[in-house]
Amino acid sequence: MSEQLKTGTTTIGIVNADGVVLATEHRATMGNIIAHKEVQKVFRIDNNIGLTTAGLVGDAQILARYMKAEVELYNLKRQTPMPVKSAATMLSNILRRGGGAQGYFYVGLIVGGWDRNGGQVYSIDAAGGCIGDHYTSIGSGSLFAYGVLEDHYKKDLSLDDAINLGIRALNAAMKRDSASGDGMEIVTITKDGYVVVSQEEILKRASRMGITVPKP
């Protein structure tokens, strides 16, 4: 039942000098109830592309499966990875056609990745709008995350600093948004591929910045 209901969240995408960082927390809510504490909100679509999800859990999960299948078909036909912008455009077209639990997909998505044009992130809304930017945040905690991103983002940000910025921005959202919490998940996507930052590394970095990361 909870997978059919609206959920709050915080998702973040950050372009940096080496690629992109995608960051999310783990909480799913059902009104005032914390429905789940270990929800996956960032998905590996390919070795060069990731997807973060906010909104209805069921809609988000099926879109992640659609996108992964389409990217795999592209790879098989062309023997080359799909460009990040092409993946974002394809997903926006899927949303524009409608579907989902309510006749449309009640989601907010971030597509991020690396290709020959470097790191890129695109925010995609439920109507299929697709906008590229240097950084973006979607979800109920995005207003708080944006405050940190606006203050600290630089175009020449290193991968290391972008990971730290993702932790800071998630922390700000988790402190003020009741629908965001229960730990962090961070991935990097560079020319070396899709890498999940270990929980040990996240906790170590957070500790150095004086941040306590709550666990589910």
Q: Which residues are catalytic?
A: 9
Residues 6+ apart with CB under 8 A from 11: 22, 23, 24, 41, 42, 52, 53, 54, 108, 110, 137, 138, 139, 142
Question: Which tokens in the block code for residue 131?
Answer: 């906008």
Identify whether the C-beta of residue 144 lies closer than 8 Å to the C-beta of residue 215: no
Strand ranges of the sheet holding 118-124, from the earlier edge strand across to the other edge: 42-46, 49-55, 107-115, 118-124, 130-133
Question: Dihedral through CA 112, CA 116, CA 117, CA 118, nearest 10?
Answer: 50
